[in-house]
Amino acid sequence: MHLAFILLPRARLPRQKDIVRAFRTFAPDEWTIRACETTAEDPGEEDILQFELHPSGQVFVALMPAPVPNNEADRAARYSLSSFGEQWEPPAHVAHLLVTLNGDKSNAVDSLSRFTSVLAAVIKSSDALGIYWGNAGATHKPEFFLSISKQLEIVPRIMLWTGISIAREVDGRLCLLSLAMRQQLGLPDLLLTASKGLRR
């Protein structure tokens, strides 16, 4: 199961129809998402949205009226490529959306790409302050996430699926280590050492 948290300035669910509409911007034509009926007695009081994703998967969007515990999301911001060069930190959040996809386990790349499209649609439909993808080890800027998600190719989307740790060696070289490649893609993490002339 894929899981991510969308940080919010206030506790409010996006509208199902907005998510369905936004999904078209971030997915190929053959992928579709359908809103399921709410189970709440009062349609204005639901705190969980459910969707059917085609070709496979069930999506849940749950409102959690509290910050992500232990500042976990805030600490992970430094591992997003969107923080490279500017040390971005997400604004303070008071609530978050928990987004899950229970889908096809046979193809990790396709499943991650579908979840990326779902997350982008939810982000576009909400007042997102940041996106904490725990399995990627990173919290991304909303603008960065949406910009990358508009590209349907796999290579740019990998920047959302993994975090990156950046450190300066004693001799001035810059080291970049990918995070969570094994958890997300079943691949070993990569270490890149750049020359002294590269500035962070």
pTM, full prediction: 0.84
What backbone torsions phi and psi does residue 146 show, to the nearest 5 degrees?
-65, -40
B/e letters for 51-68, b = 16+ CB within 10 Å, e = fewer, are bebeebbebbbebbeebb
Question: Does 40 score more than 90 pLDDT?
Answer: no
At 88, list the tokens. Answer: 């971005």
Residue 38 in tokens: 């709410």
Q: pLDDT digits over 91-110, tens only?
A: 999 999 999 998 666 788 88
Q: Lowest mean pLDDT: which of 70-74, 81-85, 99-103, 129-133?
A: 81-85
Pairing of strands 48-54, 95-102: unpaired
The token duo for 196 is 């002294």
